[in-house]
Amino acid sequence: GVAVIARLLEDMGLRVGIIAQPNPRRVVDFTQLGEPRLFFGVTSGCSDSMLNNYSPTRRPRKIDNYSPGRLPGKRPDHAPIVYTRSLKEVFPNVPVILGGIEASLRRLAHFDFFDDEVKMSILAESGADLLVYGQGERTMREIVDELREGKGLSGCRKIRGVVWRASLDEKLEATVGEHTMVPSFEETVQSKDAFYDMAKTNLHNMDPHFAKVLVQEHPNAYVVINKPQIPLSTAELDEVYELEYTRTPHPKYKKQGAIPAFETVKFSIMTHRGCNAGCNFCPIYFHQGRYITSRSEENIVDEVEHVSKFHYFRNVISNVGGPVGNVYKSQCAKLDEGAEADGACERPSCTYPDPCKNLTIDQKPYLDLLKQVLAVENVRQAFIASGVRYDLLEHDEHGQELLELLIERLSGRQFKTAVVHVSDSVNRRAGKYTTETTERFMDNCVSTVKKLGMDGDFEIIPYFTASHPGSTMEDALDVAMFLKEHGLERIQIHDFVPTPGTASECM
């Protein structure tokens, strides 16, 4: 997020100022640090501003867990657009670079569930100069290098992970080179088939090894999406997490109350990035990609030892994982064999409908890492709040041992697991595992709890998604019957919200 990119830029020798949650109606909020020498970076934070401001029923949320005191309204709707326009009014000649999850997912024309309309690329609508999508460390380094050398924004047009605008009278073959045209913004507004074609093309051009440059025509410009950035190596990711972080919120918030979202992750340890599941409803594939980049065990344990010495550490690590916990160090065998130039394959998911034969499924590295974390002095308890892919547990000889450790030491007597649904027709649309897989896992959990002597002292809490496209009332009844058959009294349910850019959005 902001802290990572800010520390990275500082490490490059830049001075970085952060304007936290500026008020668009107060010009002084945007001028308080003066005019930057290189650029303004704009993000709405670690969640989409519309998703943050509205419930799945499109009602304004009464609280904001990402703001001090949980006060709502601190970030405007479509925050990157509002912030960019405010900056351009005051500093019209300073480049503005968009980044973060909201900008990443809205880089093409997209359907906004809350406004109930197809909207332009956020780059075209905001008037920003560049957009960085995906993980931004390598991309931002390259942008800064170009700007420092005086090449300006035009020097950034060939950088991976960058989205830029070309004028409608430019000859794309000369300025862009080889590319693929996707249906224009106007076409996606008028035709669902065109929208589907655009989304499908985007889906199949997310692999940095074989993706093509995409171009979409908008009323005022061509939006050019360069190839995705190459993921960081383990050594590079270790360097990112070795930078000096304060692990505290922005000083502006010091007297404004606690920030619940920060309290949740204050002692959370990120082990890896990326998710190879490629679930149809999940935006992680479009933001972090499907290749898993893992930190080294030494780097992770060093961080645990570091935070365990904080005077306010309460002996608990709230999470040891990434988007999903148990894909740590999971890789494609084709890449391990040195085929980086060709990439792996064009499957968006390495696990659905069945794990790919080239996917290395080895739970031992994650198992060993968790044991090392639990062995750190002052660490009494650790959790896997990221959850686990239980379909992968049964494909590895160490899966059962990991499950036993999870139940006994890493769950706090409550194991929350993302089932999503028990209707195979819904799961097929969502890109999740079958009901049969879920049944086997639930039965294994029950038998494992009894084996560990924890029967009656342990609770499984499944996490379901309601109203995913294709869901029916009969499917909802299937969930009710599933809960009754397994004696599950506590569950978590959330309403599906179509996230911009995802496959489920098209449904």
pLDDT (tens digit, 9 = 90+) per residue, 242-278?
999 999 999 999 889 999 999 999 999 999 999 999 8
Please report whether residue 352 resides in a domain. yes
Q: Give me the domain span that covers residue 169.
A: 2-225
Q: Where are the beta strands (DSSP E) in 94-193?
A: 96-98, 110-112, 117-119, 130-132, 162-166, 180-181
Query: Rounded distance, CA 77 to CA 114, Å?
Result: 10
Task: State residue 412's pLDDT score.
Answer: 81
The tokens of 152 are what?
């300006």
Spatial contact of 399 and 444, defined as CB atoms under 8 Å apart: no
Shared domain for 306 and 198, answered yes or no, is: no
Last-in-domain residue among 159, 193, 225: 225
Task: State residue 338's pLDDT score.
Answer: 47
Shared domain for 464 and 348, answered yes or no, is: yes
233: DSSP letter: P
Last-in-domain residue among 191, 225, 259: 225
Task: State residue 432's pLDDT score.
Answer: 92
- The CATH number of whichever domain residue 370 belongs to comes to 3.80.30.20
State which residues of the chain have pLDDT below 50. 337-339, 341
Please report whether residue 232 resides in a domain. no
Task: State residue 342's pLDDT score.
Answer: 54
Task: State residue 348's pLDDT score.
Answer: 84
Shared domain for 79 and 206, answered yes or no, is: yes
Spatial contact of 415 and 442, defined as CB atoms under 8 Å apart: no
Q: How many domains in the chain?
A: 2
Full DSSP string of 33-83 = T---SS-EEE---SS-HHHHHB-TTSPBPS--TTSGGG-S-SS-TTHHHHH
**Region at 17 (left for phi over 0; alpha for psi -120 to 50; beta for the rest):** beta
Shared domain for 41 and 187, answered yes or no, is: yes
Sign of the dihedral through C-alpha 41, 45, 46, 50: negative
Task: State residue 219's pLDDT score.
Answer: 96
Spatial contact of 448 and 403, defined as CB atoms under 8 Å apart: yes
Which of 360, 372, 230 shows the shortest CA–CA distance to 296?
372
Please report whether residue 233 resides in a domain. no
Shared domain for 182 and 310, answered yes or no, is: no
